[in-house]
Amino acid sequence: MKKTLSFLALAFAAYSSNGQTDTAVKKEEKKSHWYDKVAIRGYMQTRYNRLLETNPKLKNEQGDRSWGENGGLFIRRMRVILYGQIHERVYIYIQPDLASSASSTGLHFAQLRDAYVDVGFDKKNEFRVRLGQSKVPYGFENMQSSQNRVPLDRNDALNSAVSNERDMAAFFYWAPSKVRKLYSSLVNDGLKGSGDYGVVGFGVFNGQTANKPELNNQLHAVARVSYPIRIGSQLIEPGIQGYTGNFVIPTDQISTGVKIRTDRSYLDQRAAASFILYPQPFGIQAEYNVGKGPEFNKATDSIEVRDLKGGYITMTYLLKYKKHIIIPFCRMHTYQGGKKHELDARSYDVKEIESGVEWQPIKNFELTMMYTISERRFEDYKAQNNLQKGNLLRIQAQLNF
């Protein structure tokens, strides 16, 4: 009888203990909030572009505005990123830049870069929709973060498609979970991936570029397909993409005297092919695009829809010595066409060769030196027959946190 009572007492104590434990776990679960799942990271880039400079009139408005005369030490980017999977099917990403250059006379303004939410349609989030301001899926290098890219600026040819690479948009992305993990590892393992923009991506965007209001009732449409393929120990990623729409030139980007269409609306469409061989250790990144868009024509002093073309090839070699990472590289790029987001849809003819090396002694710090040989014709209504040639040595220190 005593043994039976003892057994019942132990069983009751165990039941009470388990009940208390379960209650405590449930209370602990209830204390978990969405903001507990949000992380923070960022990076800062400081540059100097005037070493061994041969022509102070050589400029690059699309890239780094501290090129040329009156350029000095320059904070190119100061990004702070908030991100997190706040629900199994909801992911948020917010990225302001605290060092935007609003003009040649104003530096270090805070400006929104990304603010979007991904909503998954399945538990693995293989099918998802992205809503908000985000990168337009056009061009591998456009989607590649400046924190990961080896050359200091994006190429003119594809980057002229979308200023700041972003716009207000609604995009659909699909990729198998194993490919999504691979996209993540290509960035985390230092192989200079573009991030996860799906195997298939398509959608609509305003078409006036980031932080600009819509100026017509027509959305741009874009589509992209790419797939990473393993061949032995190597990994390649071919891709194709294209977009179409009508771009409206803002009135403050038109010089007095330039002939324009009454509605200021111009056809804006492109198609591009990409080929990536990830650096293991030798790497190749190449893209080329063709299309039509607004461009200043000095023969008629007017902005017209004209053909455009251009691309680039970047070759890299990934070296690891103890904990150091060293990446020598060379890029050649060319572009002939207009830049819709610049004054008078400025006309360009660019030929450029860049070579240099990126050195990462520790994870939190990178130093890049790059020598640029450039020939740029950039013409608008006020600056016609403007051909500038020159060389310069550029240095960038990057902090990762």
Q: What is the mean pLDDT of the chain?
A: 92
Kindly list the domain boundaries of the chain, sorted by start residue: 41-400
Which pLDDT does position 33 carry in this prediction? 84
User: What pLDDT digit, counting tens, does each position of 44-77 carry?
Assistant: 999 999 999 999 999 999 889 899 999 999 999 9
User: What pLDDT digit, counting tens, does each position of 125-155 carry?
Assistant: 999 999 999 999 999 999 999 999 999 999 9
Which pLDDT does position 2 carry in this prediction? 47
Position with higher pLDDT, 107 vs 157: 157
Cα–Cα distances in Å, from 87 out to 32, 33, 34, 123, 126?
11, 10, 7, 11, 15
Hey, which residues does 394 pair with through a beta bridge? 370
Give the CATH superfamily of 41-400.
Porin (2.40.160.10)
User: What pLDDT digit, counting tens, does each position of 91-117 carry?
Assistant: 999 999 999 876 656 788 999 999 999
Closest CA to 96 of 154, 31, 144, 164: 164
Q: 26 falls in which pLDDT band (50, 70, 90)?
A: low
- If you search the block for the tokens 């650096």, which residue do you land on? 279
pTM of the predicted model as reported, rounded to 2 decimal places: 0.90
User: What pLDDT digit, counting tens, does each position of 285-330 carry?
Assistant: 999 999 999 999 999 999 999 999 999 999 999 999 999 999 999 9
Which pLDDT does position 13 carry in this prediction? 47
Cβ pair 183, 278 in contact under 8 A: no
**213: preceding bond cis by omega (within 30 degrees):** no
Which pLDDT does position 8 carry in this prediction? 44
Which residues, including other chains, have CB under 8 Å from residue 44's CB and lie 6 or more apart? 75, 77, 78, 79, 99, 398, 399
Q: What share of the chain is helix, strand, coil (3-state, %, to 5)?
A: 15, 50, 30
Please state, in angstroms and rounded to a whole number, the distance separating the CA atoms of residues 19 and 25: 10
211: left (phi over 0), alpha (psi -120 to 50) or beta: left
Which pLDDT does position 10 carry in this prediction? 44
- Average pLDDT value for residue range 157-182: 97
φ, ψ of residue 159 to 5 degrees: the values are -70, -20
User: What pLDDT digit, counting tens, does each position of 201-222 carry?
Assistant: 999 999 999 999 999 999 999 9
Which pLDDT does position 11 carry in this prediction? 44
Percentage of residues in the chain having pLDDT higher than 70: 92
Cβ pair 393, 369 in contact under 8 A: yes
Which residues, including other chains, have CB under 8 Å from residue 331's CB and lie 6 or more apart? 151, 155, 312, 313, 314, 315, 353, 354, 355
Position with higher pLDDT, 18 vs 352: 352
DSSP 103: B
Is 27 a residue whose pLDDT tops 70?
no
Q: 358 falls in which pLDDT band (50, 70, 90)?
A: very high
Closest CA to 136 of 239, 237, 266, 241: 241
String of b and e for 203-236 (b: at least 16 CB within 10 Å)? bbbbbbbbebeebeeebbebbbebebeeeeeebe
At 100, list the tokens: 């935007």
Which pLDDT does position 12 carry in this prediction? 44
